[in-house]
Chains A and B, each alone.
Chain A
Amino acid sequence: MFLLKLLFRNAFRHRVRTLLTILGITVAILAFGLLQTVVSAWYAGVNASSSTRLVTRNAVSLVFSLPIAYQERIRRIEGVSSVSYANWFGGVYITEKNFFPNFAVDAKSYLDLYPEFVLPPDEKRAFQLDRKGCVIGKKLAERFGWKRGDSIPLKGTIFPGNWEFVVRGIYSGVDTSTDESQFFFHWDYLNETLRKTIARRADQTGVYIIGLKNPQAASEVSLAVDATFKNSLAETLTETEKAFQLSFVSMTEAIVVAIRIVSFVVIIIIMVVVANTMAMTARERIGEYAIFKAMGFQAHHIAGMVFGESLFITAAGGGIGILLTFPVARTFGEVMGNFFPVFQVDRSTLYMDLVFCLIVGIIAGIFPTWRAIRIKVADGLRRIG
Chain B
Amino acid sequence: MIMPASGEQQIMVAVNAVSKAYRRGNQPIPVLEGISFQIARGEFLALMGPSGSGKSTLLNLIAGIDTVDSGSIVIDGVDIATLDESELARWRASNVGFIFQFYNLIPVLNAFENVELPLLLTTLSRRERRQHVEAALDVVSLSDRREHYPSQLSGGQQQRVAIARAIVTDPAILVADEPTGDLDRVSAGEILELMGRLNAEQGKTIIMVTHDPRAAEKAHIIRQLDKGLLNDVPA
Contacts and interface: CB of A to CB of B under 8 A. Distances in A.
A381 B66 CA distance: 11
A294 B98 contact: yes
B106 A287 contact: no
Given A2-B116, A377-B65, A378-B60, A297 B106 contact: no
Contacts of A298: 85-86, 89
B100 A295 contact: no
A13 B104 contact: no
Interface residues of B, number: 28
Interface stretch (B107-115, B193-201, B217-225): B107-115
Interface SS of chain A: helix, strand, loop or mixed?
A: helix
Majority SS of interface residues in chain B? Answer: helix
A195 interface: no
Given A13-B107, A295-B93, A381 B118 contact: no
A298 B86 CA distance: 7
Interface stretch (A3-11, A103-111, A235-243, A344-352): A3-11
A296 B66 contact: no
A292 to B, nearest CB: 8
Interface in B88-109: 89-90, 92-94, 98, 100-102, 104, 106-109
Interface string B153-197: 000000000000100000000000000000000000000000000
Interface in A252-308: 287-288, 291-298
A272 B121 CA distance: 34
Contacts of A217: none
A125 interface: no
Contacts of A294: 63, 65, 92, 98
Contact of A381 (B65, B89, B90, B121): B65
A295 B109 contact: no
Contact of A384 (B85, B93, B100, B117): B100
B29 interface: no
Interface string A150-193: 00000000000000000000000000000000000000000000
A287 B98 CA distance: 14
A384 B103 CA distance: 10
Contacts of A295: 92-93, 98, 117-118, 121, 165
A294 to B, nearest CB: 5
A327 interface: no
Contacts of A385: 101-102
Contacts of B63: 294
Contact of B121 (A296, A376, A378): A296
Contacts of A5: 113
B120 interface: yes
Interface in A1-50: 2-3, 5-6, 9-10, 13
A6 B109 contact: yes
Contact of A288 (B65, B89, B106): B106
Interface string B41-59: 0000000000000000100
A9 B57 CA distance: 33
Interface string B209-229: 000000000000000000000
A376 B66 contact: yes
A3 B107 CA distance: 14
B162 to A, nearest CB: 10
Interface string A343-380: 00000000000000000000000000000000011100
Q: Which of A3, A288, A292, A294 has the most CB of B within 10 A?
A: A294
Interface in A88-143: none
Given A9-B109, A10-B108, A384 B90 contact: no
A6 B106 contact: yes
Nearest to B182: A385
Contact of B89 (A3, A297, A378): A297
A376 B192 CA distance: 29
A9 B107 CA distance: 10
A301 to B, nearest CB: 8
Contacts of A9: 108-109
Contacts of B116: 2
Contact of B104 (A10, A296, A297, A384): A384
Contacts of A13: 107-108
Contacts of B94: 296
A122 B165 CA distance: 82
A288 B107 CA distance: 10
20 contacts: A3-B120, A6-B108, A287-B104, A288-B104, A293-B89, A294-B63, A295-B117, A295-B118, A295-B165, A296-B89, A296-B94, A296-B121, A297-B89, A297-B93, A298-B85, A298-B86, A377-B65, A378-B66, A381-B60, A384-B102
Given A291-B104, A377-B66, A378-B66, 15 more contacts: A2-B113, A3-B120, A9-B108, A291-B106, A293-B65, A294-B65, A295-B92, A295-B98, A295-B165, A298-B86, A377-B65, A378-B65, A381-B65, A381-B100, A384-B102
Interface of B: 57, 60, 63, 65-66, 85-86, 89-90, 92-94, 98, 100-102, 104, 106-109, 113, 116-118, 120-121, 165
When A and B form their complex, which 8 residue pairs have the shortest distance between CB atoms, in order from nearest? A296-B93, A9-B108, A377-B65, A378-B66, A296-B92, A378-B60, A291-B104, A298-B89
Interface of A: 2-3, 5-6, 9-10, 13, 287-288, 291-298, 376-378, 381, 384-385
